[in-house]
Amino acid sequence: MSISRRDFLKLAGISSLGIGFSATDLLWKNRAEAIEYMSSPKGLTAKRWAMVVDLRKFKTEEDYNRVIDICHRIHNVPDFGNLKDEVKWIWTDTFEHVFPFQKNEYLPEGVQEKKAVLFCNHCDNPPCVRVCPTKATFKRKDGIVAQDYHRCIGCRFCMAACPFGSRSFNWRDPRPFIKRLNPKFPTRTKGVVEKCNFCVERLAEGLKPACVEVSNGALTFGDLSDPNSEVRKILSTNYSIRKAELGTRPSVFYIIGGDEDA
Amino acid sequence: MYDAGKILIGLIIFLAFATFPFYSNMGKAVAKPDPKLDTPVIQQMKVKQCVESKEFMRAEHMQLLNNWRDAALRRGERLYKGSDGRITEISFQNQCLRCHSNKKKFCDECHSYAAVKPYCWDCHIAPKEANNEH
Ligand code: SF4
Ligand code: SF4
């Protein structure tokens, strides 16, 4: 029996369908009905996580270093020892740089000299998410702008899109530049971008972000959509500003002056 | 045929190169991979059972790990209820590697045999083993 080229192609097409139903598919099907993915009941949840930074409570250099050190230590953030390669999740900058539109020479003494603490603003309208070609950067249901390092191809579009410099690129292998590895958390690898994750891994365990925990009340974390949350209480009794000029709707608020209500 | 001699010599040289991997390995039996389960944590378990059956894990662990990653990272769902109803926390580094703390004798055993180089270890920290640098 001879078979025409046309018939052969038809046959090949039909039989290739069968490949879809292979033995490994059966392995999956048999268990597919039973398995389930769930959130942990002990995890903290919110509609929109937010942070309030009370700059009045940052008084000494130590107050700044404490929050920075804990974050970089538990998240295995490398220290390359030079500004060019710098990788940071949380850092400080001058008042003038952080709030360029708020600067004026008649502000009360001490305000403009004060450094501000910065991290990713977990914007409600995040440009970094919009530009990421692989959806490595994405916004979670609770407002956290997260990043899947497995998917990051290192194109750095997100770095160009973020107006706040919240993102760092690993130009080199970070492993040798991490002084003390935290064995509970992964490192990153050469060629990926990284940034603050609002401590999602801690929230899942029912813990507040690490920087908040060591800040002696200078940082407050909570649900912006809940009128009774701690952050909303602070925001309704203090004058706060955020880096809102560019329309990204940041979830980080700053209290820079006025009486301390403690 | 023009230049039959040259062509034949060329063919022989080509065949010699193309088949080199086969005859150079002929007769040499490569030891079958033999992943070890004798870690302290596994030895203490009453029922020595991973999150799914051995057969499933053997064939499909890579797909399962991908699903775990997406569930935990993207959907924030960090608990996995397996087909036998047991619930496990989803974490490669803190759960999988807690039992399988012997990367060299467990992971590498088959990965090396199959010549696959998964990139897990670029970021995930392997447990400390005796005579294991990473
Ligand atoms: S601060 Fe930058 S990195 Fe963070 S969500 Fe906003 S745009 Fe993205
Ligand atoms: S560098 Fe990574 S996270 Fe940033 S846009 Fe490119 S793929 Fe997305």
CB contact under 8 A, B56 and A37: no
Buried b (16+ CB within 10 A) or exposed e, A149-187: bbbbeeeebbbebbbbebbbbbeeebbebbeeeeeebbb
Q: In the predicted model, what is the mean pLDDT of chain A?
A: 92
Atom of ligand 1 nearest to the CA of A195: 3
Q: In the predicted model, what is the mean pLDDT of chain B?
A: 91
- The pLDDT score that the predictor gives to residue B131 is 46
Query: Can you list the domains of chain A with their CATH numbers?
Result: 49-255 (3.30.70.20)
CB contact under 8 A, A204 and B78: yes
- Across the range B87-109, mean pLDDT stands at 95
Instruction: Report DSSP state, residue B68.
Output: H
H helices within chain B, ranges in order? 4-18, 20-25, 40-44, 54-69, 97-99, 107-113, 120-123
Per-residue pLDDT of chain A (262 residues; tens, 9 = 90+): 577 888 888 888 887 776 655 666 666 666 666 789 999 999 999 999 999 999 999 999 999 999 999 999 999 999 999 999 999 999 999 998 999 888 888 888 888 888 999 999 999 999 999 999 999 999 999 999 999 999 999 999 999 999 999 999 999 999 999 999 999 999 999 999 999 999 999 999 999 999 999 999 999 999 999 999 999 999 999 999 999 889 999 999 999 987 765 4
Atom of ligand 2 nearest to the CA of A159: 4
Provide, as residue numbers in chain B, all residues whose Cβ is less than 8 Å from the Cβ of A189: 119, 122-123
Min Cα distance A48 → chain B (Å) is 14
- Regarding the beta carbon of A160 and ligand 2, being less than 6 Å apart is answered no
Quote the pTM value: 0.84
d(CA A53, CA A45) in angstroms, rounded, equals 20
Tell me if chain A has a CB within 8 Å of the CB of B85.
yes
Indicate if ipTM > 0.85: no
Provide, as residue numbers in chain B, all residues whose Cβ is less than 8 Å from the Cβ of A150: 69
Atom of ligand 1 nearest to the CA of A248: 6
